[in-house]
Structure 1
């Protein structure tokens, strides 16, 4: 409440939690009622965190008619109030997560799922350090065809991709200045911005931090913030996996290392190859990868990105300093030895993605798994086991994966399966244009 007292200009607040698709679900209320939410929380139906991508109930879900659609209790996260500078009126966001009325965490909440994984690390005396890299497109969606928006500086449209182009960044300098100002005000540690391979495509890195929940919070809020700031400038920002058929899609790469409680990196052996613990973590990620693909590629459009020679991994393998690999060990100083997981698209729920990757790595550490030898060269030319090739295969692999059952509570797994099966069924009715319209800003 101190933040609100310091910002008397804020008259309305948004209270919101992430559903299984990462969509923000919540309420608007006058700021004068904020104290009640802070102390008593608020109520949403449990089913609200388990809606499909259209925002519809899941048919035959036990959370709806069978149980009378009961309420869960939403309480503020440790983040507290944050400004929403992309809105016209001064407004604050209060992030929430869900509990049962008796105080138990609700197992269908994706943030609670990540907290459960973090608790496993804490019990093992370990601290994961996490960073995410997010790619997105700036898009003029005002016409029938998606196009690069005109530069606010020059009024001109650039029609091609320009990797690491300062000119492409400078064309949207005002937008990026507003974006970084918003990140600063929301305590989101945005670092480097670069232009990417697609037209109007950019990537921003969020800094490493030894708090996976905050890293996932930052990623979730960053996605919502980028979309909001873009609309201030008259265009859309999209994390959709593949908005343009002819260009590479959007990824969300995740870097992580694991420390002991005294700050020692368990992947660091003083050399380039890393420790046995690094190999165990890699092996855990590889073993869980087929079953985790539904979390890394959660939508129909996600599978348009996961094709050979399109800067997204298709094979299940690992390598040192090789961006064709699903798991890359970047070159770095030994103390910064880390794993980069490159499978997830920009359209993911960050809580579920971070939980899946960290959970798989911990499974590998606990089981002392050994990976196959790292490969060299082009992963697309290797005889590697492949990721599930389409949405149905990924749903089946998720349902059958022992690692998924070990990482996530059964309630969340069943809810997620019901959600994706319903979406798979109804997506068959949509045209390509309707698919783009659905996903463009929703994910």
Structure 2
């Protein structure tokens, strides 16, 4: 993997500090602030911090019974820059750059507890079969005034009014925060995040931005992780909060991260395309793989207590394990359109997911279906919520149990990551039960 060049810093003398950060299991950036001389050293020698730092709980605390902490002396890993290189941080006042890093062991092996490596492992399985996923994500989030006791929609900088209503596909709602979205798109361009269409959604102050598809799934996950960081940081600069928590308002729909993907062969042909709306048998194998792993991987798609407030009937979040053509009530949707663009939309993940883990779970499940040649049940028609379907776990404890006992999850994720993720979620579940609902929302609002 080529290291980023120090020329980036030379060409930008105004940048005075660097953040070197890795993504932990909760999607939180963990790392260090560095002066420029240390940043140059980072490019060639890497940096060090404990292996356990990627498995902290949502409060940033060590896991009580993790073998990574006291049992092994809380030993270090070595972290090196990813191929992403330097990324501006436009939400900060001083010119600053972020260097995304990922973790390795002392002997040079990739650290199996690193979420970015987990996605890389899945991509290597595709590559071994001569296949390349083409991936895009849609990210929903809320703009929130959290200055008072109750969360509410921010006051519009344009009208100086607060409109307490959901407005699906409203240009007025977008224009009400035009300065924020203008700055957001300019920042995405500076950070090489391929932001596409923005719309207003069904929740209070809720919006969605699509990221353009790419044939590099690691970049797609990088883009999603950096985008979440950017939106939250930039919103604070504009005087309000932004959050990807699954469901901040009880009476309105929550936020999801829908993932779209197709798969190309070595000649660049979409293996889901047979020239018709139906798609190939390989498309159905991939769908079957996703359906078969859906219950076991719910903990990845809904990793927090608040995640399960979103997973309720008739709330634009699928809970029935089913697929359909052009049907947004189904967990797996095959969108219409030109056959050459035939793809799968996986609609289960909340906006609060770790993008690396979510894409690894989705693409890994699809590949197991392709490898096994399994076929799904017939596609459904009509309202999935009204049908008698098997359902994913709709509470945190059941999702933890399904993940822990799964026979499919070890085919997707390394054993060390599975262990660490389970220990983290069990600890969070234990301590989250001691908090009031207000305290729970407070921790999720800014972290996820």
Matched residues in 1 for 2:312 and 2:439: separation?
Answer: 22
Within 5 Å, give how 1:343-422 maps onto structure 2.
Answer: 343-422=348-427
Give the conservation status (yes or no) of the 8 Å contact 1:11–1:32: no
Q: CA deviation at 1:147?
A: 0.7
1:78 aligns with 83
CA apart distance, 1:32: 2.5
Equivalent residue, structure 1, for 2:149: 144
TM-score in terms of structure 2 length: 0.98
2:440 pairs with 1:429? no
For the residues of structure 1 that align with 2:266 and 2:116, how far apart are their CA atoms?
23
The question of 1:8 aligning with 2:24 is answered no
The residue correspondences of 1:104-119 to structure 2 (distance < 5 A) are 104-119=109-124
2:255 alignment partner, one of 250, 256, 259: 250
Among candidates 197, 205, 211, match of residue 202 of structure 2? 197
Quote the RMSD (CA, aligned, Å): 0.5
Matches within 5 A, 1:21-60: 21-60=26-65
Q: Is 1:97 the counterpart of 2:102 in the alignment?
A: yes
Q: Unpaired runs of 5+ in structure 2? A: 1-5
The residue correspondences of 1:264-283 to structure 2 (distance < 5 A) are: 264-283=269-288
Deviation at 1:403, TM superposition (A): 1.3
Q: Stretches of 4+ moved more than 2 A in 1?
A: none
Extract unaligned runs of 5+ from structure 1: none
The aligned runs of 1:252-331 (5 Å cut-off) are 252-331=257-336
Aligned-pair distance for 1:323? Answer: 0.3
Using the alignment, how far apart are the partners of 2:136 and 2:365 within structure 1? 17
SS at match of 2:223: helix
Equivalent in 147, 158, 176 of residue 171 of structure 1: 176
What do residues 224-262 of structure 1 show as CA deviations (whole Å, max 9, x unaligned)? 000011001000000000000010000000000000121
- 3-state SS, counterpart of residue 405 of structure 1: helix
Once the two structures are TM-superposed, the CA of residue 154 in structure 1 deviates from its matched residue by: 1.2
Question: What TM-score comes out, normalization by structure 1 length?
Answer: 1.00
User: Offset of 1:33 from its aligned partner?
Assistant: 1.9
Distance 1:261 1:216 in 2: 23
Q: How many residues align?
A: 443
